[in-house]
């Protein structure tokens, strides 16, 4: 049965908690128009009707149904910021922000929509030929084809210069060989941006981005990886065995892949920060609700000074994160978000998310460790936010460079 009933059985109305979080006094957000708010309502409804009821089953099976991708596409929730001529809605990035925030608040980590719509699709839009955009983006916007990006390899994650996957020129195209791991949407993936060496002797300057799709011989998927959290997300290994790829599937110029990765990373990192802050806000909502209802020593847990002070501290830190991340979104919209600032947002917001959710688990007592409770799910999902998208240590490297330290 659906998650809603399970939470209700545990004496806890999950959806009420989502609403209650909005009652907290906050510095008003100024980013969104009434149209964005209307869109938010419809995304929230979609999460409640098409996602939350299936989430437990997706967690158990280790992947979401393809059907939900098609439904999301049908509602205009995929690739919303892509131009209409390529199947998108031509929407501004704030609509994408709304989608990420609502998914975080619904606490359903199984969906890889953000990576598909706001990481994979932008590479195609920014560096793909018109033919490539027409070939892949409309199918992605409809949810018919699912996108992934394959950078990491078993022996190369933080150090992408160490990528071994190769794309060797052969006649009119490339032959791709190698393997990737930890790939989000990997098991479902129909179209993959592969980071490959086109000139291995040149290191980062010999790296290119090449599109491989499901119809190409020699492209295969490994097992779905069993993870601590994100249990319904089909993270997988990918294998490329003499995959013949036409030259037109190269994104941008040959050997320029690293430049493109650097250009796109600030937005990718900000997306992680956006979901982290939304999750912090939701966690405070769930926890405030819980401590008001739960009694110990004959009174609500909320009446203990420790509980109130702890939640006051967490609400303060979340507010600080919210203001900073909203400012970063503003900079992004103005085309001014730099690498160091995006790295600060990613590292600080995800560190906060892990600390905050752990404190909230503590305030739930034993129930915080029970899978039926949203805080337990948020706890296992949060940990990876400090690892993927560039580890928080790599974020600090980038920040230190911006203040004139390091290489």
Ligand X SMILES: Cc1cc2nc3c(=O)[nH]c(=O)nc-3n(C[C@H](O)[C@H](O)[C@H](O)COP(=O)(O)OP(=O)(O)OC[C@H]3O[C@@H](n4cnc5c(N)ncnc54)[C@H](O)[C@@H]3O)c2cc1C
Interface positions with ligand X (CB under 6 A): 149-152, 157-158, 182-184, 227, 230, 235, 384, 387-388, 390-391, 393-394, 397
Pick 272 or 291: Cβ nearer ligand X: 272
Closest contact distance (angstroms) between CB of 104 and ligand X is 15
Q: What angle do CA 289, 295, 299 make, to 5 degrees?
A: 110
- Is 244 a known active-site residue? no
Q: How far apart are the C-alpha atoms of 35 and 285, rounded to whole Å?
A: 25
Q: Which of 32/388 has CB closer to ligand X?
A: 388
Cβ of residue 58: shortest distance to ligand X, in angstroms?
A: 15
Minimum distance from residue 146 beta carbon to ligand X (Å): 12
Taking CB atoms, the residue at the shortest distance from ligand X is 157
Give the helix ranges, DSSP H, for 47-129: 52-61, 66-74, 93-106, 113-115, 121-127
Count Cβ atoms within 10 A of the Cβ of residue 73 and give its class: 0-12 exposed, 13-18 middle, 19 or more buried. buried
Nearest to residue 290, comparing CAs of 378, 355, 368?
A: 368
Residue of 118, 268, 289, 353 with catalytic role: 268
| Burial (CB count <10 Å: 0-12, 13-18, 19+), residue 244 | middle
Answer for the pair 399, 341: CB distance below 8 angstroms, yes or no. Answer: no
Q: Which is nearer to ligand X, 46 or 113 (CB)?
A: 113
Minimum CB distance to ligand X smaller for 12 or for 240: 240
**Cβ atoms of residues 214 and 176 within 8 Å:** no
Nearest-approach distance from CB 386 to ligand X, in angstroms = 9
**Residue 21 vs 213, nearer CB to ligand X:** 213
Q: How far is the CB of 390 from ligand X (least distance, A)?
A: 6
Please work out, in degrees rounded to the nearest 5, the angle formed at the alpha carbon of residue 143 by the alpha carbons of 390 and 46. Answer: 90
Point out the residues that are catalytic: 268
């Amino acid at each position: 049965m659906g998650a809603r009933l399970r939470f209700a059985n545990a004496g806890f109305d999950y959806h009420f908690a989502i609403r209650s979080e909005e009652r907290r006094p906050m510095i008003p957000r100024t980013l969104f128009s009434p149209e964005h708010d209307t869109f938010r309502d419809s995304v929230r409804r979609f999460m409640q009707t098409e996602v939350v009821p299936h989430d437990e089953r997706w967690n158990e099976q280790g992947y979401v149904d393809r059907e939900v991708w098609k439904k999301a596409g049908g509602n205009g929730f995929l690739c919303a910021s892509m131009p209409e001529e390529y199947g998108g809605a031509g929407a501004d990035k704030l609509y994408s922000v709304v989608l990420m925030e609502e998914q975080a608040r619904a606490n359903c980590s199984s969906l890889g929509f953000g990576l598909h719509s706001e990481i994979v699709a932008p590479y195609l839009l920014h560096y793909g030929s018109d033919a490539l955009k027409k070939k892949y983006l409309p199918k992605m916007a409809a949810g018919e084809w699912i996108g992934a990006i394959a950078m990491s390899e078993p022996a190369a994650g933080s150090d992408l210069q160490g990528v071994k996957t190769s794309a060797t020129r052969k006649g009119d195209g490339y032959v791709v060989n190698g393997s990737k791991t930890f790939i989000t949407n990997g098991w479902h993936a129909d179209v993959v941006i592969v980071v490959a060496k086109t000139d291995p002797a040149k290191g980062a300057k010999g790296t290119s981005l090449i599109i491989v799709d499901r119809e190409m011989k020699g492209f295969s998927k490994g097992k779905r990886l069993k993870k601590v959290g994100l249990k319904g997300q089909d993270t997988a290994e990918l294998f490329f065995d003499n995959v013949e790829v036409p030259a037109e599937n190269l994104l941008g110029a040959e050997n320029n892949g690293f430049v493109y990765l650097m250009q796109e990373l600030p937005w990718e990192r900000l997306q992680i920060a956006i979901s982290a802050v939304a999750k912090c806000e939701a966690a405070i909502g769930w926890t405030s609700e819980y401590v008001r209802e739960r009694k110990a020593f004959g009174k609500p847990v909320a009446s203990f000074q420790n509980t109130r002070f702890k939640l006051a501290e967490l609400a303060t830190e979340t507010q600080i994160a919210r203001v900073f991340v909203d400012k970063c979104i503003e900079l992004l919209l103005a085309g001014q978000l730099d690498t160091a600032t995006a790295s600060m947002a990613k590292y600080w917001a995800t560190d906060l998310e892990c600390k905050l959710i752990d404190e909230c688990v503590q305030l739930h007592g034993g129930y915080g460790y029970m899978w039926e409770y949203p805080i337990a799910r948020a706890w296992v999902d949060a940990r990876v936010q400090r690892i993927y998208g560039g580890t928080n240590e790599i974020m600090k490297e980038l920040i230190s460079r911006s203040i004139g330290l390091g290489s």
